[in-house]
Amino acid sequence: MTDLALGDIGVVMRLLAASQVVLFVAVVLRARLPARTKALVAMLAAGVLSYLFLPLADGRVAVPVSVVAGLVSNTIPALLFVLAWEFFEDAQPTPGVWAVLVLTVFGAMWLAATPDSRLALTCVQVLKLAVAAAGLWLVWRGHAADLVDQRRRLRRLFVGGVGVLVVAVVFAELVAQWQVPMALEALGMAVIFLFVLTVNVAFLTLEPDLLVLTQIVAPVSAVQATDDPLVAELERLLREERLYADHDLRIGQVAERLRVPEYRLRKTINGRLGHRNFNRYVNGYRIEEAAARLLSDSRLPVLTIALDVGFRSISSFNAAFREIHGCTPTEYRAARHSGAA
């Protein structure tokens, strides 16, 4: 097949992929999602469309327009990282998450300022590859602890598709030094089209549940649900046998102790108790005991308490404690003792 024919196929695939991106944005914009999430998706779509159309616009648009489009397309990995946090983490993005986006944008601006610099091209590609890999890790690390079935499926789709696709594109451009063969480019565009089409089918199917995927549900006290025998036994295991003190505790181990299928336990903790993440659910018990011990024995080191209730490190303990009480364990102890005095 001639390069001209391959080029025509590549153009058709780019246009088809672009049409699916537009459809995806339309689905998300009409879904019951926070405005911030919709804005991030719109920004991501702008980056993908810029990536798809930039080669077609070569020499046909003004240089400033081409530079801006290149800058926008280079933010794709960072936007995917932030969106991954938005969809899969039950917490607001930390300053570090936004720093990833800012760092990538500045890297893209540096590349735009030095378009002929091989060093700039390489550095920005490596940065994008690292951010994309971090996004994959972020999504997959919470897969086992996620209690929302729809979101667990989306994690697999994200890792198996979006993340891998971005890493593959960035890596291929880096290795090929931006001289990707025509046949490989046409194949790449076809893969992008098919993948975005698959994502659209998945999102059109899940659309009624999209709000559930991002909304943080207020937990219900286990005491209020003890009419359920499974909840009552779960409560007994955690409180009386202190299963939470095992820092390697997994939901599968708890399901084995309760002699129930893991999927049923996930559904019970999520549906009956309102928790979306197993680790955060267990951390509630750990923090409850830790808070009591901080006050009952003021001479016991904070680290000793943290390790004894099931945390791996003082940093993870501090983060979980602050999430519940709004302060560090040390500040909590000092405030309570000064108030008692």
Task: Tell me, yes or no, whether 269 and 172 share the same domain.
Answer: no
Q: How many domains does the chain have?
A: 2
Q: Are 189 and 13 in contact (CB under 8 A)?
A: yes
C-alpha closest to that of 244 among 289, 274, 275? 289
Largest CA distance in the chain: 85
pTM: 0.76
C-alpha closest to that of 80 among 114, 118, 129? 129
Q: How many Å apart are CA 146 and CA 152, to the nearest integer?
A: 6
Instruction: Enumerate the H helices of 163-277 as residue ranges.
Output: 164-175, 182-206, 210-214, 229-240, 251-258, 262-271
* Per-residue pLDDT at 2: 60
Domain boundary among 161, 195, 214: 214
Q: How many Å apart are CA 155 and CA 141, to the nearest integer?
A: 10
Q: Are 124 and 161 in contact (CB under 8 A)?
A: no
The domain spanning residue 253 has which CATH number?
1.10.10.60
The domain spanning residue 153 has which CATH number?
1.20.1070.10
Tell me how many helices (H) and strands (E) the chain has.
17, 0
Residue carrying structure tokens 């983060």: 319
Residue 61: which domain range? 3-214
Task: Tell me, yes or no, whether 190 and 298 share the same domain.
Answer: no
* Per-residue pLDDT at 290: 94
DSSP category for residue 146: B
Task: Tell me, yes or no, whether 186 and 228 share the same domain.
Answer: no
Single-letter code of the amino acid located at 136: L
Domain boundary among 194, 214, 234: 214
* Per-residue pLDDT at 175: 64
Q: How many Å apart are CA 336 and CA 254, to the nearest integer?
A: 34
Strand partners, 146: 277
* Per-residue pLDDT at 3: 53
SS3 of residue 277 by DSSP: strand
* Per-residue pLDDT at 131: 81
Task: Tell me, yes or no, whether 194 and 45 share the same domain.
Answer: yes
* Per-residue pLDDT at 82: 84
Task: Tell me, yes or no, whether 246 and 292 share the same domain.
Answer: yes
Q: Are 337 and 295 in contact (CB under 8 A)?
A: yes
Task: Tell me, yes or no, whether 33 and 100 share the same domain.
Answer: yes
C-alpha closest to that of 161 among 140, 187, 183, 177? 140
- CA 240 from chain center: how many Å? 34
Task: Tell me, yes or no, whether 159 and 278 share the same domain.
Answer: no
Residue spans of the chain under pLDDT 50: 218-223, 341
Task: Tell me, yes or no, whether 210 and 226 share the same domain.
Answer: no
Q: Tokens standing for 203? A: 């999102």
Domain boundary among 167, 184, 214: 214
Task: Tell me, yes or no, whether 193 and 330 share the same domain.
Answer: no
Q: Tokens standing for 216? A: 């943080």
Task: Tell me, yes or no, whether 207 and 317 share the same domain.
Answer: no
* Per-residue pLDDT at 222: 44
Give me the long-range contacts of 329-333 (CB less than 8 A, separation at least 24).
Answer: 329/290, 329/291, 329/294, 329/302, 329/305, 330/302, 332/291, 332/294, 333/294, 333/295, 333/298, 333/302
Q: What angle do CA 239, 89, 257 make, to 5 degrees?
A: 30
SS3 of residue 123 by DSSP: helix
Task: Tell me, yes or no, whether 58 and 134 share the same domain.
Answer: yes
Task: Tell me, yes or no, whether 126 and 189 share the same domain.
Answer: yes
